[in-house]
Amino acid sequence: MSQGFETRTLDITTGVAETVYDLTAECVSFLAEVADGRDGLLNVFTPHATMGVALIETGSGSDDDLLAALHHLLPADERWQHRHGSRGHGRDHVLPAFVAPHATLPVIGGELALGTWQSVCLVDTNKDNRERQVRLSLLS
């Protein structure tokens, strides 16, 4: 049975280069403040048409591998119908079909229940917009 709903919007600066931004610490901090030891679900959502949320190992090259794979699947060239912004920006609008703009994660005993090497990451290939928002919502 649901005991509560808590939500917070974070302002994140992802920078001027394509990036995989590790958001795990912000998720853990949010849960430490609001979960009060309860089980539930954490929803991570980014309200942007050119950004995604992924669970991935970071720091071992996997984040760079993800960006390389996205370059292979979605090249930053002139093939895209959507043509405003920097060269190849249309691919940024296709990204959320491959890396969804949300993830729902288990919370057990007030703590994020990730696997050993999993991190919660924002995937941002849009170099034209570096100021981003993320909504963290706990349903417990």
At 72-87, the pLDDT tens digits run 999 989 898 987 888 8
Distance, CA of 31 to CA of 66 (rounded, Å): 27
Q: Are 122 and 59 in contact (CB under 8 A)?
A: no
Distance, CA of 92 to CA of 82 (rounded, Å): 9
Residue 24: what pLDDT? Answer: 98
CATH code at position 16: 2.60.120.460
Distance set, CA 93 to CA 82, 88, 124 (Å): 8, 10, 11
Residue 107: what pLDDT? Answer: 98
Looking at the 3D structure of the chain, how many domains does it have?
A: 1
Residue 85: what pLDDT? Answer: 82
pTM: 0.93
Phi, psi (rounded to 5 degrees) for 41: -130, 130
Domain that holds residue 37: 5-139
Residue 88: what pLDDT? Answer: 85
- The pLDDT-based confidence of 66 (bands split at 50, 70, 90) is very high
Query: Is 70 exceeded by the pLDDT of residue 18?
Result: yes
The pLDDT > 70 percentage for the chain reads 98
Query: Is 90 exceeded by the pLDDT of residue 61?
Result: yes
Residue 1: what pLDDT? Answer: 40
